[in-house]
């Protein structure tokens, strides 16, 4: 490479950075700035009536796992926090598995339709995004509540004799999150399956492989990037879900998002709320790093 070509490449890179500088400044101010404020708040002392006191303290971080007993004034394990963390991870994981189990055959069906019909099915999948999340959650509430459509239909056909008590339980939150985040699983899977060469299926059958073996050894490895992307798109927002657990859990089945809101408002413990927020961010970052590593691994191995 000549000196003139190297100078031209450097100038092009420099111009690219200059063009992206306004967006980087906005990103730093609007995203990184608030995160730094939350991080600083997590290492300060809680005020008596909310907000923080400018004294360094690790009470917010220790409060994630430990709480002070009101009778003995000693520190005990924060069972409630650990229960909420476990519920959040469990429900998010189950939601991801269920959306994959439902979304994969749905995406395969759409990807194997003719182009015109495929566009119609994709349009139907994206319709829920036209409605506010709160409205969709209340719609699920009307379906699964004690006097809702589900119980009325099951009782009318004689499957059950009394209404199922689904509302304000973990099952209700799980059903709501599965419904809300299902399109986020279907769309990445469709994008991956749409690029799949169906001749590979014929090759597998010609080699006397069963349908299950073709699915496990041919289809799933090829569409793995779509599976990983869909799993991340479902797991990350469901882990920090606030509206769905609040409406369908009735304030009884809290998740991490509800716990953070409780500390900032009713609890008046901003450092603990900030520390919980940063903990959630760390968990999400780990999940994203897993996705990036898996995606890079796919590129490395062709």
What pLDDT does 302 receive? 47
Q: Is the pLDDT of residue 254 over 60?
A: yes
Name the percent of the chain in helix, strand, coil, to the closest 5: 75, 5, 20
Query: Which is the CATH superfamily of the domain at 79-300?
Result: MetI-like (1.10.3720.10)
Mean pLDDT on 179-193: 93
Mean pLDDT on 238-243: 92
What is the Cα gyration radius of the chain? 25
Q: Is the pLDDT of residue 106 over 90?
A: yes
Tokens of 232: 């991340």
Residue 90 pLDDT class (50, 70, 90 cuts): very high
C-alpha to C-alpha distances, 139 to 87, 135, 179, 244, nearest whole angstrom? 23, 6, 10, 11
Distance in angstroms (rounded) separating the CA atoms of residues 37 and 27: 15
**Sign for the pseudo-dihedral over CA of 28, 34, 40, 42:** negative
CA-based nearest residue to 252, from 262, 237, 238: 262
What pLDDT does 299 receive? 55
Q: Is the pLDDT of residue 301 over 60?
A: no
Residue 1 pLDDT class (50, 70, 90 cuts): low
Share of the chain above pLDDT 70, in %: 97
What pLDDT does 50 receive? 79
Mean pLDDT on 7-17: 81
Q: Is the pLDDT of residue 262 over 60?
A: yes
What pLDDT does 27 receive? 82
Domain segments of the chain as ranges: 1-41, 79-300
What pLDDT does 205 receive? 85
CA-based nearest residue to 175, from 152, 149, 198, 210: 149
Tokens of 112: 């194997």
Q: What is 219-254 written as a DSSP string?
A: IHHHTHHHHHHHHHHHHHHHHT--HHHHHHSTTTS-
Of 105-119, 138-152, 233-247, 288-302, least confident by mean pLDDT is 288-302
* Mean per-residue pLDDT over the chain, rounded: 87
Residues 6+ apart with CB under 8 A from 89: 239
Mean pLDDT on 256-265: 91
Of 28-32, 36-40, 79-83, least confident by mean pLDDT is 28-32
Residue 103 pLDDT class (50, 70, 90 cuts): very high
Distance in angstroms (rounded) separating the CA atoms of residues 14 and 25: 16
> For residues 107 and 267, which has the higher predicted lDDT (pLDDT)?
107
Residue 298 pLDDT class (50, 70, 90 cuts): low
What pLDDT does 130 receive? 87
Residue 297 pLDDT class (50, 70, 90 cuts): low
């Amino acid at each position: 490479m000549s000196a003139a070509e190297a100078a031209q490449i450097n100038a092009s890179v420099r111009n690219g950075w200059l063009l992206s500088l306004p967006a980087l400044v906005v990103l730093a101010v609007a995203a990184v700035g608030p995160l730094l404020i939350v991080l600083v708040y997590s290492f300060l002392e809680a005020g008596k009536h909310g907000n923080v006191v400018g004294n360094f303290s690790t009470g917010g971080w220790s409060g994630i796992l430990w709480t002070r007993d009101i009778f003995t004034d000693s520190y005990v394990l924060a069972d409630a926090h650990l229960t909420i963390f476990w519920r959040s991870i469990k429900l998010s994981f189950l939601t991801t598995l269920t959306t994959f189990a439902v979304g994969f055959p749905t995406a395969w069906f759409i990807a194997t339709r003719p182009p015109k019909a495929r566009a119609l099915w994709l349009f139907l999948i994206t319709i829920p995004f036209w409605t506010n999340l709160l409205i969709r959650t209340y719609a699920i509430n009307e379906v699964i509540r004690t006097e809702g459509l589900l119980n009325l239909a099951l009782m009318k056909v004689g499957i059950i004799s009394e209404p199922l008590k689904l509302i304000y339980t973990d099952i209700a939150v799980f059903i709501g999150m599965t419904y809300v985040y299902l399109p986020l699983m279907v769309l990445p899977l469709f994008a991956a399956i749409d690029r799949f060469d169906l001749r590979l299926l014929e090759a597998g059958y010609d080699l006397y492989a069963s349908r299950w073996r073709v699915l496990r050894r041919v289809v799933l490895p090829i569409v793995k990037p779509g599976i990983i992307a869909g799993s991340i798109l479902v797991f990350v927002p469901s882990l920090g879900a606030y509206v769905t657990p609040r409406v369908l859990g009735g304030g009884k089945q809290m998740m991490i998002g509800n716990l953070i809101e409780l500390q900032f408002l009713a609890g008046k413990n901003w450092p603990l709320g900030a520390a919980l927020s940063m903990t959630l961010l760390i968990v999400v970052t780990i999940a994203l790093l897993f996705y990036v590593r898996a995606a890079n691994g796919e590129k490395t191995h062709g």
